[in-house]
Structure 1
Amino acid sequence: MTPDRHGPDGLILAERHPPAAALERARAARLRRREDDLFCTRQVVISALPHEVFAYLREPEHLAEWTYSLRGLARAAGPDLWRATDLLTPGSEVFLQLVAHEPALAVDLRAGAADYLWITSSLLVRPAGELLAKPGSVVFWSTARHPNYDSFPLAPTPDDVWASVAGFHDLELHNLKSILESGAGARRA
């Protein structure tokens, strides 16, 4: 099938759309605030080996070091379940589960109530050499926008919560980078 003659209407392909129009559309999408996005993905380059970064991320106890507000982690009843206090919502208790996938250098982080871990994030560690031709690691952090974000008690409107996810990911990735580049994370991993 050749894209210029076949395929569903609405495909944006070089054969159908001039480059200037496609570039303008791409710029507009990049600049547009997207509270309606289903995922928030952020990334950071860290001057540490991928396996060191993964070894640090896979340990639940380290969440209290690099996350902005999770403190007092302790094991909870349930398989690989942890309990923590979230300083963003005083008096709250959050439950967490980390699932490490070593061959992929990926860690899934699930959080929420003890009986329903509705927040789902995935952290993927890739060698920076493969992606950017430089030493170190790239960490990609994606969080899905679950409908429960719309009733989150922290913000005045649902979009305020979702709009802040990227900013908090950036803060926490900064913390992760600082810890691992200082060598402190490698000593504890």
Structure 2
Amino acid sequence: MTALSDIPVPVIPGVLRVENSDRDATLPVILDRLRSVYPHDEVFGTFCPVHIVIDAPPREVYEYLAHTRSLAEWTYSLRGFTETDEPGLWRAWDKLAEDTEIYARTVAYPDSMTVDYHCAWDQGEHLWMIYLMRVVDAQVVFDRPGSVVLWTNCHHPFYEKNPFPEKGPKEREGWVGDFWPLFGPGHQLELDNLKAICEYRYANGLPLTPEWMR
């Protein structure tokens, strides 16, 4: 079998490969996608990708992030984590809004060093705010010691309209989705926090994951 041999048409619309578009034909297509200035919504409208390099070992950074309560340290506004009666589900307060509870469950895979935070404001039954994170060994990708942390959010439709208005405080003004245009710089600020905390502990001989969190 050869590549794409299961598809009966010779060319799939929108697919450019060297077989159907040589370098001279493809280069203008690529160059046309370059911009000196990118609209904010084009970069952060559907996805919110942020990343950082941390001067600390990747396995230790991963293990720190894999603890849900690490969010109480490096995020800007999540505080007061307590575990609910449901194992692995945590309740906290999001200080971005008045009297707003946030629920979080961490799904972590040590082999790939991925950490996904499944969260939601006001209720813990449907965790629709998904924060996807991956820790990469900087030695592999940058030929230097340390960690690369990649973080992506997806613009779930619930950001546009609160699906559970009855669950939140009646006097609260606004909704988490109102902050979406600020997610890019806001999450980068939080990654800066993560970098500062991890690098301080590592440089001073402290475990990245403190004993109280274990």
- Give the TM-score normalised by structure 1: 0.85
Task: Report what 2:109 is aligned to.
Answer: 101
Match of 1:11 among 11, 15, 21: 15
Task: Report what 1:175 is aligned to.
Answer: 193
| Identity across the alignment (%) | 33
> Once the two structures are superposed, what CA deviation does each residue of 1:28-63 show, in whole Å capped at 9, x if it has no partner?
7x7133267432221100000001101110111211
- For the Cα contact (< 8 Å) 1:56–1:185, is it kept in 2? no
- For the Cα contact (< 8 Å) 1:46–1:138, is it kept in 2? yes
- For the Cα contact (< 8 Å) 1:51–1:105, is it kept in 2? yes
> Once the two structures are superposed, what CA deviation does each residue of 1:2-32 show, in whole Å capped at 9, x if it has no partner?
99xx42233345627352442231337x713
Q: Which amino acid aligns with 1:7?
A: V
Task: Report what 1:57 is aligned to.
Answer: 65
Match of 1:31 among 38, 44, 54: 38
Does residue 136 of the first structure (1) align with residue 146 of the second (2)?
A: yes
Change (3 A) 1:117 1:97: same
- For the Cα contact (< 8 Å) 2:64–2:209, is it kept in 1? no
Higher strand share: 1
Shift of residue 163, structure 1, vs aligned partner:
1.7
Task: Report what 1:48 is aligned to.
Answer: 56
- For the Cα contact (< 8 Å) 1:126–1:138, is it kept in 2? yes
Task: Report what 2:158 is aligned to.
Answer: 148
- State the SS of the aligned residue for 1:48: coil
Structure 2: runs of 5 or more not aligned: 5-9, 163-172
Match of 1:75 among 67, 70, 83: 83
- For the Cα contact (< 8 Å) 1:46–1:180, is it kept in 2? yes
* Pair member with larger Rg: 2
> Once the two structures are superposed, what CA deviation does each residue of 1:103-151 show, in whole Å capped at 9, x if it has no partner?
1111110101211111011110000111111110100011121111102
Structure 1: runs of 5 or more not aligned: none
Q: How many residues align?
A: 185
- For the Cα contact (< 8 Å) 2:45–2:181, is it kept in 1? no
> Once the two structures are superposed, what CA deviation does each residue of 1:66-116 show, in whole Å capped at 9, x if it has no partner?
001001111112120000000001101110111111111111101012111
Change (3 A) 1:61 1:52: same
CA distance in 2, matches of 1:26, 1:52: 37
- Give the TM-score normalised by structure 2: 0.76
- For the Cα contact (< 8 Å) 1:85–1:94, is it kept in 2? yes
